[in-house]
Chain A
């Protein structure tokens, strides 16, 4: 559905640049497969807007060449931004805000009780993700418009991998803190053993939390049937 979404986003701008009838023909250029990370899509949209505007002010072969370059740039940008966006937003920011949310839950529960903890966790998980992503979506739309054909060069200057690494290290550190706090509440040794076994289990091919949960339940049933759980 990203293709439809892209056309929906561009339609008013194309109508403004080309007029109603020509704008519909311009929309046909953006009809077809389009897929990228949703938080990086505004960069591509901004660039497309700028290049469509520029092309509308050109004539003949110059215009055709500009539109052809725009199509190629759009496709290449979408593909490369998808990987960066997925690693940054899904692979780093989302789990980082989850870890922060858990910390807020623990802090809230210790300070006041479950209600404050729940509110803190939900607020952090929501605002911690929505804030940066909404800011970036707005900012990147104007950056894409400003950078135009220099998009690829400009993207090289952004330290994506460093940002991703820092977010993941911060998240891993928070997770370690959460693990220590959690394990200190109850039976540390069995808890550490369980945590360690699950971490090892994730190395198995096709291991997912749902499958590991199902396997745990199945082992639990067998253990109960054998009388080991009483």
Chain B
């Protein structure tokens, strides 16, 4: 069986390094690129993100990657947004200024009260409205979070929540597009297991 391929969307900002190494350690062939011809051929597209929403959105639009990602989603390709990458998939963000997003996930992105930051290890739990844990997460899993903004909790796309003074979306899904607020590449065994699941699912 061929090894899966992963395309990390390169916006010219942030840390692709850890995501790349994590995927390689799981046996995937990894390409870091903003070239749509290269990204078109991979099994799983990853949109990472560090920094600010407006800055990252601008970088996406400059490279015409916003329309590329929308097209990939509409073609039911497998897409994973991590942290800011998840937020970019939303309808808009209020970070710095109101900025429209890619509108793949319902809802907007808002800051925690008093601009506090959610940093550290936290658990996630299945949305009460769902009966099936589609990502096969263990109840005792912990994941590493590092963010100040989060997706609207009432979004119908939310599959898993976490808690930081209030419930907030940890994972949201729309078709084959998954947005993860935490960093699976920095979440040790639990994160590797989830990444492995998503990579394998992209070729099944």
Chains A and B come from one and the same complex: no
Chain A interface (Cβ < 8 Å from any Cβ of B): none
Enumerate chain B interface residues (CB-CB to A < 8 A).
Answer: none
